[in-house]
Structure 1
Amino acid sequence: MVSYKTPVRISAQAYQGAGTGRRAKTWNPSRASINTILTGDLDRLRARTRDAVRNNPHAAAAREALVSNMVGTGIVPRTLSQVEARREALRLAFADWIEEADADGRCDFFGLQGMVAGGLFDGGEILVRRRRRRQRDGLSVPLQLQLIEPEHLDATFNRDLERGRTIRNGVEFDAIGRRRAYWLWRGHPGEWQTSADAARRVRVPARDIAHIFNPLRPGQIRGVPWPATVLTRLYEIDQYDDAELVRKKTAALFAAFVQKRTGDGATGSAAEAFGGVGDPPVEADELDIVLEPGTTQLVPDGYEMKFSEPADVGANYEVWIKQQLRTVAAGMGVTYEQLTGDLSDVNYSSIRAGLLEFRRRVEAWQHNVLVFQFCRVAWRWFAEAAVQAGVVPARGFAEDRRDFLRAKWIPQGWTWVDPEKEIKAVVMAIRAGIISRADAIAEFGYDAEEIDREVAAETARVERMGLVLDSIPKQTDQSGKMQRTPQQREANDGRES
C-alpha cells in the first residue's frame, strides 16, 4: 500500500521574483490586460516616442536603421501562379501599378512600405485603407492605398453593441471575436480642424483596413511604440548629455572676478600706482581692468582677482554614456553601432556576429509583420482589382482564387562586409545541393525568373555581336580561358576513344 505524505507548506516564495520582502515590497506591477493598459497609456507613449524621434538624434538614427533594413529599396512580390500567362499578366500589371499605389501621390508602393515600417517604430501601429477608384480615374488598376496614423483610432472608445458585438479600443468585434470594423476620426485629433465634421467618427469595414502592428501578447488589439521600454532612459540621457555640454561650454569661457578684500590695508606702493598717497580709495565702479593677451594687470589695493574653475566632465563620462546607449540600442532592437555610428570598438568578427543577430530579428519582423499584415493584404486587394478591371484575365478566378493570390515576397539583399567570402559560400551551397539557385538569388533580393530572362537576352545579344565575355560561362571558364566548342569536344572524345 502506497502512502502519501501531506505536502510541506511553503513559507516563502519559490521564485525570488515573486518575493514580497524588503527588496521587492515596492514592486507591485499592474495585472491588467495589455488592452486595458494601452487604453490609458497609448496616447502618451506615442506622443513621447514621436517627440524623441523629432529631437533626439539617437532615436532618429534607430528609426532610420530599422526602416532601411526592413524595407530598403522595397520588398518585391513574385507571383507563384501555376499558369505562365497569368504570372506574366500579374507581373506586368503590378509593375505599372507600383507608381500609382499611394492615394496621396507622394510615394510608390515601396515607399509606402517604408512609411509603414516607420509608423510601426514611432506609432506602434499604422492603418492602411483600401481606396477603390473608378475606371475614369485613369489608373492602370483602379485601386490606391491610404495610410492613416493610429491617432485616428481612439484607444479610449469602448462600447457594447447589440447581438454580442463590442467596440474595444476603437475596433468593432462580432460575437465570436472577429474584427468587423474600425471607428476612425474623420480628421486627425491633433490637426487644427476647420469643420465640425472632422471630429466625427466614421465606421470603416475591416475588409478595407489593414491594421499593422507587432503583437506582443495574445488578444492584443493595439500596437505599442517600439522604444517604449527605453523612453524614460533615453529622455534622461539626453538631459544629462545636454547638461554636460553646457558644463563644457561654461568651462571654455575664461572668466575672472574682482573681489574686494576685507581687513587689508593699502600699501604705499600700490596707492602711489593708483593716484598717489592721500587719494581717495578706488570704488568698484571705477575699476578699469581689461584682460588682453600678453598684458600684466595691476589690481587696486583692497581688491583681489579670482578665476572661475568649473568642474570637468570627468573621466568616466564616455564609459557611462556608452553603457547607457548600449541599453537603449537593445531596447530599440538595433545594434549600438547603428544607434551611434561609433565603430571604434569593433572588428570584422564582432560586427558580423552583431549584424547576423540583428538581421535575424529584422527578417522575423519582415515576414511576420510587414509581409503578412501589409504586403500580403495589399497583393490580395491588387489582384482582385486587376481581375475586376480586366487588366488580368479573370478566367479561373472563381474556381482557383488562391492561384491568383499566391506570391512570394523578396526583401532587398544584405550587403556584407566581405562579399567575396559570402559569394563563394553561396556557390558551394548551390553545388552541394543545400539550397536552390532560385533561393540563393532571392537572398540577394532578386527574382530568379527575371534574372534568367535578362541573362538569356544578354547572352543572345553578346553572341549576335560576336563578343567574348568572362560573364558567359559557355564562352570562357573561371580563369578566363576559352571554352571548347562542341566540335572540339567531339574531336577530342574521338581521339581519346
Structure 2
Amino acid sequence: MSANWFDHAIATVAPRTAARRVLARQAFETLTRGYDGAAKGRRTDGWRAPGTSADTEVGVAGALLRDRMRDLVRNNPHAAKAVAVLVNNIVGAGIMPRAASGNDKLDRKVDALFARWSDAADADGQLDFYGLQTLICREMVEAGEVLVRRRLRRSSDGLPVPLQLQVLEADFLDATKSGALGAGRLVQGIEFDPVGKRRAYWLHAEHPGDAYGALQNGLQSRPVPASEIAHIYEKQRTQARGVPWGAPVIRSLRDLDDYEVAELVRKKTEACVTAIVFGDDEAQQGIAPSVVDADGNRVEQFEPGLIAYARGGKDIRFNQPSATGGYGEYKRASLHTISAGFRVPYELLTGDLSQVNYSSIRAGLVEFRRQIDAVQWQLFIPMFCAPVWRWFTEAAWAAGQIPTPDVPVEWSPPKFEAVDPQKDAMANLLSIRSGTMTLAEVIARQGRNPDAVLAEIAATNAKLDALGLVLDSDPRRVTKTGSAQTSDPANDSADDDPAADPESDPADDSDTDPARPDTDQQD
C-alpha cells in the first residue's frame, strides 16, 4: 500500500514517523489478508462473534439451552435417540471398579464390600451404583452437567458402608450467585478461593422448578463444601459449568420438527380432492360465489371428498392437487447434520444401514469408539468414578471395615460389542502371543474383572479335574480324561486350530488374518 496525502504531509516534518505509519499499515493489511475468516465485508455482515469468556456465554444461555434440550428429548425422537446412544456407549451396563493395592486379600475384601454397597448406593433407594451411572451420564449429555452429593449415614442405618449418593440436577445450582466474595469469587453458584480452587457449591434446598419447593422457600441457597460434591460436565473451554451436548443442533432439531409438520399438512392438502359446482345466480354476478353448507354456513376450508355447491350451480369443477417430492432427501441431510452435532454416527442415530456395508460400518465406528474412550477416561471416570471410590474407601475405613482409606483402583468400562467376534478373538489371541497385551488386559476390555474371571476359570478346571473330565480345545466338547477324541476333518484339525497348537501361526490363514487390511481388525 502506497503512502496517502496525509503521510506525505507528515513526511515533510517527520519522515521517520511517516515511514513507520506506512510500514504499520502494510503489516496490518497483510495480517487481515492472512485469514479469510477474519475478513470484513458484505459476506460477513451480521456475523456476531463476541470475545466473551466461556463463563459469560454459559451464564447467559445455559439455562435456556438446558430447558430447550430437555423439551426436545421429551418430544423429538431423534434427540432422545442421540442421548440414548451416547449413554449406552459411555456407560452401558456400568464402569466397574476393582481394587488394585497388590494385596490379594485386601483387594478381595474391598471388592466384595463394594459389591454389597453398590446395591444400596442410591440415596433415593431405587438404583444401584451402575444404575446411578446411567442416570448421571444421561443428565451430563442431556442437560450438560449434573451434581452428585456425598451423603454420610449413621452406622445404625444398616448399610454395608455408611455412605450414599444423591444425584442433583444442574438446576439446584444457584446461578444468581456471581461476583466477588472476599478474596475469592462466585461464578454461577460455584465459589472459588483466591487461587481458583473450588471451595463450595451454592445449592437450593429444593428444585427451583418444583411448585412445592418454591412454596417451601426452596429458592434460597446455601453453600455446600466442594469436597462433598462431584460436578460432572464436559469442559470445552475453561468454563465453570457445562452445556447440553446437542447445543449445536438445537435449532436444526426444531427446524426438522417444523418441516415435518408442514410436510404433513401439505400431504393432507394434496389428498383433498374436492368438487365445486358453479352457477350464474344473478344476485352474485360480479362477486366471488358464496359456498355454503347444508345449514347455510359459509365453507372456508376444504375437506377430503367435499362437494361444494355455489348458488344457482350449473357447472362442476375438480381441484387438481399436485404431489411434490424431496422429503426423504431433506430429512436424510438434516439427520446427518444432527448426528454430527451430537457426535454420533448417522447409522446409530437413525438405524438406517442402507448406505453402508460391513467394512464401512466397522471403519466408521473406529473414530466413534475412540471418542467414547476419551469421554470415559478423561471425563466420566476422573469426574465421577474416582471421587466416589475415594468417598467409599474413606467411609469404609472410618467404619473400621478396611485398614486403610487409600486403596488404589482400576476401572473396567463396558466392552464394545464385536461386529465379527471371530476376527476380534483372533486379534486378541495374536496380541497375547506377541506380548503386546496381557490376558488380564483382554479380560478387562470385555468389561469384566480379570481376577474374578481367572478365579472362575480355575474353579471350573478344578471341578472338571475332580470329575475326571477335561475341557477340550474345542469348547463344544467335554470328554473323559484319556478317552479317545473323535476327529472331525472339517472342524477338528489341529493344524487349523491355533489355540490347540502353540507353534501354529494364525497369520497363515488368510480368512482369519487380523493383519490383512481388508479385515478391519480394529472394531
Identity of matched residues, %: 41
Task: Determine helix, strand or coil for the equivalent of 2:44.
Answer: coil
Pairs within 5 Å for 1:24-39: 24-39=44-59
> For the residues of structure 1 that align with 2:51 and 2:243, how far apart are their CA atoms?
17
> For the residues of structure 2 that align with 1:480 and 1:464, how far apart are their CA atoms?
26
1:224 aligns with 2:243: yes
> For the residues of structure 2 that align with 1:119 and 1:184, how far apart are their CA atoms?
17
Change (3 A) 1:462 1:196: same
Aligned position for 2:192 = 173
Change (3 A) 1:175 1:19: same
Pairs within 5 Å for 1:283-302: 302=313
Q: Deviations over 1:223-280 (max 9, x none)?
A: 0110000001110111101211232234334x3232313499xxxxxxxxxxxxxxxx
Alpha-carbon shift at residue 284 of structure 1 (Å): 8.0
Aligned position for 1:257 = 275
> For the residues of structure 2 that align with 1:302 and 1:481, how far apart are their CA atoms?
90
Q: Deviations over 1:453-481 (max 9, x none)?
A: 00000111112122343368997899658
Change (3 A) 1:391 1:303: farther
> For the residues of structure 1 that align with 2:174 and 2:401, how far apart are their CA atoms?
38
Task: Determine helix, strand or coil for the equivalent of 1:166.
Answer: strand
Q: Deviations over 1:280-315 (max 9, x none)?
A: xxx98599xxxx99xxxx99984333334444241x
Change (3 A) 1:349 1:480: closer
Change (3 A) 1:93 1:25: same
Change (3 A) 1:226 1:301: same
> For the residues of structure 2 that align with 1:331 and 1:286, how far apart are their CA atoms?
54
Alpha-carbon shift at residue 124 of structure 1 (Å): 0.3
- From 453, 456, 462, give the equivalent of 1:454: 456
- From 422, 428, 435, give the equivalent of 1:426: 428
Alpha-carbon shift at residue 78 of structure 1 (Å): 1.6
Alpha-carbon shift at residue 322 of structure 1 (Å): 0.7
- From 71, 95, 98, give the equivalent of 1:51: 71
Contact 2:98 2:410 in 1 (8 A): yes
1:62 aligns with 2:73: no
Aligned position for 1:156 = 176
Aligned position for 2:356 = 346
Alpha-carbon shift at residue 35 of structure 1 (Å): 0.3
1:244 aligns with 2:263: yes
> For the residues of structure 1 that align with 2:321 and 2:165, how far apart are their CA atoms?
58
> For the residues of structure 2 that align with 1:470 and 1:306, how far apart are their CA atoms?
83
> For the residues of structure 1 that align with 2:253 and 2:391, how far apart are their CA atoms?
40
Pairs within 5 Å for 1:384-395: 384-394=394-404
Aligned position for 2:316 = 305
Alpha-carbon shift at residue 25 of structure 1 (Å): 2.5
1:91 aligns with 2:111: yes
The structure showing larger relative contact order (alpha-carbon pairs under 8 Å, at least 6 residues apart) is 1
Alpha-carbon shift at residue 445 of structure 1 (Å): 1.1
> For the residues of structure 2 that align with 1:81 and 1:415, how far apart are their CA atoms?
30
Contact 1:102 1:144 in 2 (8 A): yes
Change (3 A) 1:286 1:215: closer
Aligned position for 1:333 = 343
Alpha-carbon shift at residue 122 of structure 1 (Å): 1.2
Alpha-carbon shift at residue 321 of structure 1 (Å): 1.3
Task: Determine helix, strand or coil for the equivalent of 1:381.
Answer: helix
**Counterpart code for 2:344:** V
Task: Determine helix, strand or coil for the equivalent of 1:197.
Answer: coil
1:413 aligns with 2:415: yes
**Counterpart code for 2:275:** F
Alpha-carbon shift at residue 81 of structure 1 (Å): 0.5
**Counterpart code for 2:316:** M
Contact 2:161 2:395 in 1 (8 A): yes
> For the residues of structure 2 that align with 1:10 and 1:31, how far apart are their CA atoms?
20
Task: Determine helix, strand or coil for the equivalent of 1:319.
Answer: helix
Range that drifts further, 126-135 or 87-96: 87-96
Q: Deviations over 1:181-231 (max 9, x none)?
A: 00011111111125433222021100000001000012x100011000000
Contact 2:171 2:208 in 1 (8 A): yes
- From 189, 193, 196, give the equivalent of 2:212: 193
> For the residues of structure 1 that align with 2:270 and 2:240, how far apart are their CA atoms?
52
Aligned position for 1:123 = 143
Contact 2:122 2:165 in 1 (8 A): yes
TM (norm. structure 2) is: 0.79
Contact 1:181 1:206 in 2 (8 A): yes
Change (3 A) 1:122 1:311: farther
> For the residues of structure 2 that align with 1:480 and 1:372, how far apart are their CA atoms?
47
> For the residues of structure 2 that align with 1:454 and 1:207, how far apart are their CA atoms?
38
Aligned position for 1:234 = 253
Corresponding residue pairs, total = 442
**Counterpart code for 1:306:** R
Aligned position for 1:465 = 467
Task: Determine helix, strand or coil for the equivalent of 1:100.
Answer: coil
Aligned position for 1:17 = 37
Range that drifts further, 114-123 or 21-30: 21-30
> For the residues of structure 2 that align with 1:77 and 1:460, how far apart are their CA atoms?
27
Structure 1: which 4+ aligned runs deviate by more than 6 Å? 298-301, 472-479
Alpha-carbon shift at residue 437 of structure 1 (Å): 1.3
> For the residues of structure 2 that align with 1:360 and 1:75, how far apart are their CA atoms?
16
Aligned position for 1:135 = 155
> For the residues of structure 2 that align with 1:390 and 1:308, how far apart are their CA atoms?
85
1:370 aligns with 2:380: yes
Range that drifts further, 4-13 or 123-132: 4-13
Contact 1:39 1:156 in 2 (8 A): no
Contact 1:52 1:59 in 2 (8 A): yes
Contact 1:299 1:305 in 2 (8 A): no
> For the residues of structure 1 that align with 2:267 and 2:472, how far apart are their CA atoms?
60
1:79 aligns with 2:99: yes
**Counterpart code for 1:305:** I
Change (3 A) 1:167 1:299: closer
**Counterpart code for 1:418:** D
Contact 1:187 1:198 in 2 (8 A): yes
Contact 1:470 1:480 in 2 (8 A): no
Contact 1:258 1:303 in 2 (8 A): no
> For the residues of structure 2 that align with 1:311 and 1:186, how far apart are their CA atoms?
59
- From 165, 189, 213, give the equivalent of 1:145: 165
